[in-house]
Amino acid sequence: MNESQHRTTGPERTERSVSITFDRATKIYPGSETPALDALSLTVEAGELLCLVGPSGGGKTTALMLINRLIDLTSGDIRIGETSITDIGAIELRRKIGYAIQQTGLFPHMTVAQNIAVVPRILGWSAARIDARTDELLELVGLTPTAQWRARYPGQLSGGQQQRVGIARALAADPPLMLMDEPFGALDPITRTAVQDEFLAIHRAVGKTTVFVTHDIDEAIKMGDKIAVLRPGGLLAQLGPPEDLLAEPADDFVASFLGAERGLKRLGLYRLGDLAGEQREPLPDWPRLPAGTTAREALSCATAERADGVIVADGETPERAVPVARLLQPDVSEGAA
Ligand SMILES: Nc1ncnc2c1ncn2[C@@H]1O[C@H](COP(=O)(O)OP(=O)(O)OP(=O)(O)O)[C@@H](O)[C@H]1O
C-alpha cells in the first residue's frame, strides 16, 4: 500500500521542513562497555513523522538527546539537512528544534502565555508578535477562548491541558524540527486519543519533521509515517511505514513487539473509501458504513450482522459493495482479491 492510502492528508512539505539523517550514529555512555545506540542509520524526510519504538533501554531517548546535543555522539554523525549537528552551535541548534517531553517541562511559576513565549522572547520578538503567536497556538491546540487560558498557571491545568500547552510551547518559534519524548505518556486513554488526534491534525497542517518516541506500538501505528523499531543495545531492528511492518515484520522480535493482533491492527490502517468496491445490481442487504470506516471496523460490523460484506455509503452513486474477502486483503489490487 502506498502512503497516500494510509494518510489521506499527508504532511505538507513546507520550505521550512528539513530532513534529519542518522549516519552510523553511536552512543556509548561513559563507564559503559556496550552502546546505548549502535550505528543507527536512517533518514527522516522533511515533513515526515518518525516514531521511534522499542523496549525500555532500547536507546530511544538517547537518539533524541543526540539530535539536540543534550548529549554528544561517540561516533558517527547526525545531519540536519546537509549540515552536521557538530557544525551548528548547540544553542542555535536547539532554537531550530521544538522539544516536548512527557513531564511537559512547563515552568510552574510562569503563566501559560509566559511559558509559550520563552523561546520567542529569547529570539527578541516584539510583544505584539508574541501575543498574536500565543493566541494562534492556543487555538491550534484547542485551548479557547484563549484569554481564559493565557493567565493560568500550569498547576491550574489538567494533565491533558498541560500537554497541549507543552506542544504549543514547542511549536512557538515555528522550529523546523520537533522532538517528542513520550509526550502523551501521562494521559488517560480518552484524553490521550484526543491529544493524539489534535497533534496529528497539527502535524498535517504544519508539516514539521518530527521524531516521536513512544512505548506504545498502537500510538506509533496511528501517528507514524514511518516507524523505527530499536532492539536492546540500540540496534535498528526495522524501519518502514506502519503497514509494511505489520505486513512483513523483519523477524520474531519485531513481530512480538507489534503484538498478537498484528493482522487486525493492519486492517485498521485501511479505510473503506480507499478500497475498490463492486457495483452490484441489486446491492446486497449488507450494513451501510461511511467511507471513513476502517477495514477492521467494517469487518467486525459485517461479522456482527452475519453479512458477507459491507456497502460504502459515502453519498456517491452508484454505491459500492465491499465483500469480506476484500476487507481481509485491503492491499491486494483490484481484480486480484
Ligand atoms: N546518562 C547515562 N549514563 C549511562 N547510561 C545511560 C545514561 N542514560 C541512559 N543510559 C543507558 O542507555 C541505555 C538506553 O537508554 P535510553 O534512555 O536511551 O532508552 P529508552 O529506549 O529511551 O528507554 P525507556 O523506554 O525506558 O525510556 C539504557 O541501557 C540506559 O541504562
Task: Record the cell numbers describing residue 149, joined without a space.
Answer: 487560558
Of the candidates 281, 275, 285, the residue with the CA atom closest to the CA atom of residue 334 = 275
Could you tell me if 279 and 318 are in contact, meaning their C-beta atoms sit under 8 angstroms apart? yes
Q: For a ligand 1 pocket test, name from 62, 70, 219 the mutation site with the most ligand atoms within 8 angstroms of its C-beta.
A: 62
The number of the ligand 1 atom at minimal distance from the alpha carbon of 27 is: 12
| Rama region for 271: left / alpha / beta (φ>0; ψ in -120 to 50; rest) | beta
Which residues share a beta bridge with 213?
A: 52, 181
Task: Record the cell numbers describing residue 83, joined without a space.
Answer: 549540515
What does each C-alpha distance from 205 to 96, 128, 157, 199, 322 come to in angstroms?
19, 24, 26, 10, 32
The verdict on the CB of residue 172 being under 6 Å from ligand 1 is: no
Residue 175, amino acid: P
Closest CA to ligand 1's atom 1 = 29
Q: For a ligand 1 pocket test, name from 56, 68, 212 the mutation site with the most ligand atoms within 8 angstroms of its C-beta.
A: 56
Closest CA to ligand 1's atom 25 = 56
Burial class (CB in 10 A: 0-12, 13-18, 19+), 190: exposed
pLDDT per residue of the chain (337 residues) written in tens, 0 to 9: 444 334 433 344 444 689 999 999 999 999 999 999 999 999 999 999 999 999 888 899 999 999 989 899 999 999 999 999 999 888 888 878 887 776 667 899 999 999 999 888 888 899 999 999 999 889 888 888 888 999 999 999 988 888 889 888 888 888 889 899 888 876 777 777 877 887 888 888 878 899 999 988 889 999 999 999 999 999 999 999 999 999 899 999 999 988 878 888 888 888 888 887 788 888 899 999 998 899 989 999 999 889 999 999 877 667 889 999 888 888 765 544 4
The verdict on the CB of residue 214 being under 6 Å from ligand 1 is: no
Could you tell me if 295 and 304 are in contact, meaning their C-beta atoms sit under 8 angstroms apart? no
DSSP classification of residue 292: T
Q: CATH 3.40.50.300 occupies which residues in the chain? A: 3-96+175-266
Is residue 55 reached through a cis peptide bond, with omega within 30 degrees of 0 on the bond before it? no
The verdict on the CB of residue 58 being under 6 Å from ligand 1 is: yes
Selected from 2.60.40.10, 3.30.950.10, 3.40.50.300, 3.30.930.10, the CATH number assigned to the domain covering 3-96+175-266 reads: 3.40.50.300
Q: Report CA(59)–ligand 1 centroid distance (Å).
A: 6
Question: The dihedral of CA 184, 187, 192, 198: what is its sign?
Answer: negative
